[in-house]
């Protein structure tokens, strides 16, 4: 029973990776760098994007929003007057807890790849499954909020290991929390040694210049074909 389950999951991941490669080829053809942005619900993905996706030195951004239900985040991003498309994962069943390559593929006709240089895919808020499904991205970025506690890297190691950048958000709240920031950073280092980290407050703007610099570097870096 256990073996069967693992085999089914493995097949599903293989099928996902095939579609992810097709997505990646489309992105490469159009010269679009793709960032898969992941976090817990409410860690500040959308607020971070509202703050980050302007003044990118000529890099033209676009956003693909993933949510179980609704288009609240897409509406917020649309205010920035940049291309945004929405994937709603909540059809049928109780809603998928992550984006997969096929969901992204089905949304691509709504994304004007020829008009953008950087596509940020905002995943469903979840620290487990999004890390298991490649969608054709060049980079994976995760946000951990200081309100979530020091222990999250140890409890959700795959997510912290799967990403190229860890953004520690809501640092404006540090004076009001008992969080040990050094311990959080030590835990990040323990599960993903050497991973790049940025400390920010998307609300106050602290550290957001560094996030924009990172995005510009990602979008203009020599790209490795899929």
**β partners of residue 141:** 37, 165
**148 touches a copy of itself (CB under 8 A):** yes
Residue 196, H or E segment = strand 196-199
Q: Give, rounded to a whole angstrom, the gap between the first and last alpha carbons of the chain.
A: 35
- Residue of the chain from 115, 151, 180, 213 that contacts a copy of itself (CB under 8 A): 151
Tokens of 106: 């089905």
Tokens of 23: 């997505």
Minimum CB separation of residue 9 from a copy of itself in Å reads 6
According to DSSP H, which parts of 70-226 are helical? 72-78, 101-107, 152-155, 157-162, 181-191, 208-220
Tokens of 151: 């222990």
Minimum CB separation of residue 179 from a copy of itself in Å reads 10
**Cβ count within 10 A of residue 24:** 19
Minimum CB separation of residue 106 from a copy of itself in Å reads 11
Closest CA to 48 of 181, 200, 215: 200
Q: What residues from 61 to 100 belong to the interface with a copy of itself (CB under 8 A)? A: 67-70, 72, 92-97
Question: For residues 31 and 95, which CB has a smaller minimum distance to a copy of itself in the complex?
Answer: 95
- Candidate segments 2-10, 20-28, 56-64, 115-123, binder of a copy of itself by CB under 8 A: 2-10
- Residue of the chain from 58, 176, 182, 194 that contacts a copy of itself (CB under 8 A): 176
**157 touches a copy of itself (CB under 8 A):** yes
Binding footprint of a copy of itself on the chain (CB under 8 A): 2, 6, 9, 40-42, 67-70, 72, 92-97, 124-129, 131-132, 145, 147-149, 151-152, 154-158, 170, 172-173, 176-178, 203
């Amino acid at each position: 029973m256990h073996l069967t389950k693992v085999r089914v999951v493995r097949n599903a991941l293989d099928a996902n990776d095939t579609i992810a490669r097709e997505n990646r080829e489309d992105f490469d053809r159009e010269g679009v760098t793709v960032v898969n942005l992941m976090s817990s619900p409410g860690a500040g993905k959308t607020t971070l994007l509202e703050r980050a996706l302007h003044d990118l030195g000529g890099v033209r951004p676009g956003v693909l929003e993933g949510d179980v239900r609704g288009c609240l985040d897409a509406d917020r991003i649309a205010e920035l007057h940049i291309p945004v498309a929405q994937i709603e994962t909540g059809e049928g069943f109780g809603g998928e807890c992550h984006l997969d390559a096929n969901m992204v593929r089905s949304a691509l006709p709504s994304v004007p790849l020829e008009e953008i240089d950087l596509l940020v895919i905002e995943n469903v808020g979840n620290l487990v499954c999004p890390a298991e499904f490649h969608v054709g991205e060049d980079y994976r970025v995760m946000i951990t909020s200081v309100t979530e506690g020091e222990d999250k890297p140890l409890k959700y190691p795959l997510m912290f290991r799967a990403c190229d950048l860890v953004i520690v958000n809501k640092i404006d709240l540090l004076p009001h929390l008992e969080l040990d920031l050094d311990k959080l950073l030590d835990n990040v280092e323990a599960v993903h040694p050497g991973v790049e980290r940025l400390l920010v407050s998307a609300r106050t703007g602290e550290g957001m210049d560094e996030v924009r610099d990172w995005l510009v570097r990602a979008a203009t870096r020599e790209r490795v074909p899929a």
